Structure 1
Amino acid sequence: MRELVVLGTASQVPTRERNHNGYLLRWDGEGLLFDPGEGTQRQMIRAGVSASQVTRICLTHVHGDHCYGLPGVLSRMALDGVAHPVHVHYPASGEPVVGALVALATPGIDLHLHPHGSAGEIADGLSIRPLDHRIEAYGYRLVEPDGRTLLPERLAAAGIGGPAAGRLQRAGVVDGVRLEDVSVPRRGQRFAFVMDTAPCDGADELAEAADVLVAESTFADDDAELAAQYQHLTAGQAGALAGRAGAATLVLTHFSSRYPNVTPLAAQARAQAPHTTVAAANDLDRVGFPSRRPGG
């Protein structure tokens, strides 16, 4: 199953309707928790998400609204007796903050800390790129390997069915029938997470051809000067990012409390990405992955 569960959508301070950041990506057998801000543990309960589903925690940077929920989440995992390893990824310069937050958590889980300091792959299919914020920050990109989609009519014509089809996918050839003879290429799905940043090359690289792009939209276009001052994206800049990248779905989040109504922000983003499905996220939203594109 692949699904994004939005746990919180506020920047800097929570509001009556929006909790601090928090995003759980359910990706087959993994659960990647991005930027758990204060209150994430409670939001997980409200969303019906179990702490035992979390296998990785990915911090873009160590500003409080992106990481102060870490001790609570880890403590809940210890309370629930989570036995599998839990990996935490974060910028190396944030080591003192992450160390302090981990020290506050209840011990008892198999925790692995992974600081990073440059672009590259940090786990199987999971890579990072630097962003342009006031402190060291990185965005995340998860890519499924390319594969092939079996075509039932070609399988039937070749006399391949049942367990033989599975063997064909694993071995590449069965009884003289090649996998490429009965299938078409399938591009792996791609997820990108771009949080606090000014427009930069790293954001573009993360977003390239994403099926689902989560991007901050802290400010409206009318407040572009504030966005530049604090090194954040406006809604229009988030939309332009998605448009340049050819993203299928853009999920806007990390809204300033100055905007009680974010519908105009979604419209500003949509104007820059006419071929992208744009949604302004609300707490507890669930976002499915779009249908695979032709040839993808």
Structure 2
Amino acid sequence: MRELVVLGTASQVPTRQRNQNGYVLRWDGEGILFDPGEGSQRQMLHAGVAVHDLTRICVTHFHGDHALGLPGVIQRISLDRVPHPVTAHYPASGRPYFDRLRHATLYREGADLREEPVTGDGVLARTPAFTLSAARLSHGVDAYGYRLTEPDGRRMLPERLAAHGITGPAVARLQRDGELDGVTLEEVSEHRPGQVFAFIMDTRLCDAVPALAEGCDLLVIESTFLDEDAGLAAEYGHLTAGQAAAVARDGGVRHLVLTHFSQRYTDPGAFGRQARAAGFEGALTVAADLVRVPVPKRR
């Protein structure tokens, strides 16, 4: 299963319709919680996401709407005695904030929560399923965007396997060894590009934004302001809907998810209209709380 579960889509101020931030990426056996704002634990309950599903927590920066849900989630991980390690990534300069949030109240620690602060651009983790990297954004405090990249692979071609009489367990041996009885893996398969996901919050336009978005199958990106308020967006370190869509357009993004909307706007459709006006022609989701967005099928 590869999908995005949206827990909240508001920016600094929640509304009757929008909880503060929170997003869970389900990626095969991994569950990555991004930017848990206030109320994320309850939103997870509504969305059918258990803390047992979480393997990582990624915080872009330490403004309240992106981090005040951490105490409840962290304590619930211990309360439910999640049996596997959960790794937390966050800007290293925010370690004092993370420590205070982690220990906001008394509780019995009953889980293995590992902290791996982000100290700069680059790779944070490599697993068989993906590489997780970070890049510094442009905001009022230290902030990082995250990019998840699946390794490229090979797609087996049944007709070519059949032509060489390769079936059953022999297929696995060929995949493992790269050659079987004179038949190479390249002869019976084709290149399969890995899938790419990126998460970009609270930033004005900077070099990291297009770098993170390039070639994404699924891009989650803030669009706090509409284009007519581009001046405010730049002043406060945010993007407009048109700016986010232009980045997605130029980067060849397949599915764009706009989120983190200012409470000043009452028509969510305006964000989608401005994204289309900016020339983005791919799949588009103007996020709402508790929606699920599947990662697009492979190209």
Aligned mates of 1:291, 1:55 — CA distance in 2 = 23
> What residue is the counterpart of 1:44 in the other structure?
44
> What residue is the counterpart of 1:147 in the other structure?
153
The answer on whether the counterparts of 2:248 and 2:280 sit within 8 Å (CA) in structure 1 is: no
Q: TM-score, normalised by structure 1?
A: 0.97
Residue 173 (1) aligns with residue 179 (2): yes
> What residue is the counterpart of 2:134 in the other structure?
128
Measured after TM superposition, the shift of residue 223 of structure 1 is 1.0
Aligned mates of 2:265, 2:172 — CA distance in 1 = 52
> What residue is the counterpart of 2:83 in the other structure?
83
> What residue is the counterpart of 2:226 in the other structure?
220
Choose the corresponding residue for 2:201, options 195, 206, 222. 195
- Name the aligned partner's letter for residue 204 of structure 1: P
Query: 5+ residue gaps in structure 2?
Result: none
Aligned mates of 2:279, 2:72 — CA distance in 1 = 37
- Name the aligned partner's letter for residue 118 of structure 1: G
Measured after TM superposition, the shift of residue 78 of structure 1 is 1.2
Aligned mates of 2:14, 2:172 — CA distance in 1 = 49
- Name the aligned partner's letter for residue 194 of structure 1: I
> What residue is the counterpart of 1:27 in the other structure?
27
Residue 262 (1) aligns with residue 268 (2): yes
Measured after TM superposition, the shift of residue 171 of structure 1 is 1.6
Aligned mates of 1:273, 1:61 — CA distance in 2 = 30
Aligned mates of 1:75, 1:56 — CA distance in 2 = 15
Matched residue SS, 1:290? coil
Measured after TM superposition, the shift of residue 270 of structure 1 is 2.0
Matched residue SS, 1:83? coil
Aligned mates of 2:5, 2:110 — CA distance in 1 = 26
Matched residue SS, 1:104? coil
The answer on whether the counterparts of 1:13 and 1:20 sit within 8 Å (CA) in structure 2 is: yes
Aligned mates of 1:261, 1:167 — CA distance in 2 = 56
Choose the corresponding residue for 2:278, options 256, 269, 272. 272
Aligned mates of 2:85, 2:12 — CA distance in 1 = 30
- Name the aligned partner's letter for residue 123 of structure 1: A
Which structure 1 residue ranges, 4+ long, deviate > 3 Å from structure 2? none
Aligned mates of 2:200, 2:274 — CA distance in 1 = 18
> What residue is the counterpart of 1:108 in the other structure?
110
> What residue is the counterpart of 2:167 in the other structure?
161
The answer on whether the counterparts of 1:5 and 1:287 sit within 8 Å (CA) in structure 2 is: yes
1:40-86: CA deviation from partner (whole Å, max 9, x where unpaired): 00000000111100010000000000011011011111111101111
- Name the aligned partner's letter for residue 215 of structure 1: I
1:141-199: CA deviation from partner (whole Å, max 9, x where unpaired): 00000001001111111111112112211221122221100010000000000100001
Identical pairs, percent: 60
Aligned mates of 2:78, 2:181 — CA distance in 1 = 51
The answer on whether the counterparts of 2:246 and 2:280 sit within 8 Å (CA) in structure 1 is: no
The answer on whether the counterparts of 1:270 and 1:276 sit within 8 Å (CA) in structure 2 is: no
The count of aligned residue pairs is 293
The answer on whether the counterparts of 1:242 and 1:273 sit within 8 Å (CA) in structure 2 is: no
Choose the corresponding residue for 2:191, options 169, 175, 185. 185
- Name the aligned partner's letter for residue 96 of structure 2: P
> What residue is the counterpart of 1:53 in the other structure?
53
Query: 5+ residue gaps in structure 1?
Result: none
Aligned mates of 1:273, 1:25 — CA distance in 2 = 27
The within-5 A match list for 1:228-239 is: 228-239=234-245
> What residue is the counterpart of 2:4 in the other structure?
4
1:12-59: CA deviation from partner (whole Å, max 9, x where unpaired): 011101101000001111111000000000000000111100010000
The answer on whether the counterparts of 1:144 and 1:189 sit within 8 Å (CA) in structure 2 is: yes
Aligned mates of 2:290, 2:175 — CA distance in 1 = 37
Aligned mates of 2:38, 2:116 — CA distance in 1 = 21
Residue 245 (1) aligns with residue 251 (2): yes
1:108-135: CA deviation from partner (whole Å, max 9, x where unpaired): 2101111122100011100000100010
Matched residue SS, 1:238? helix
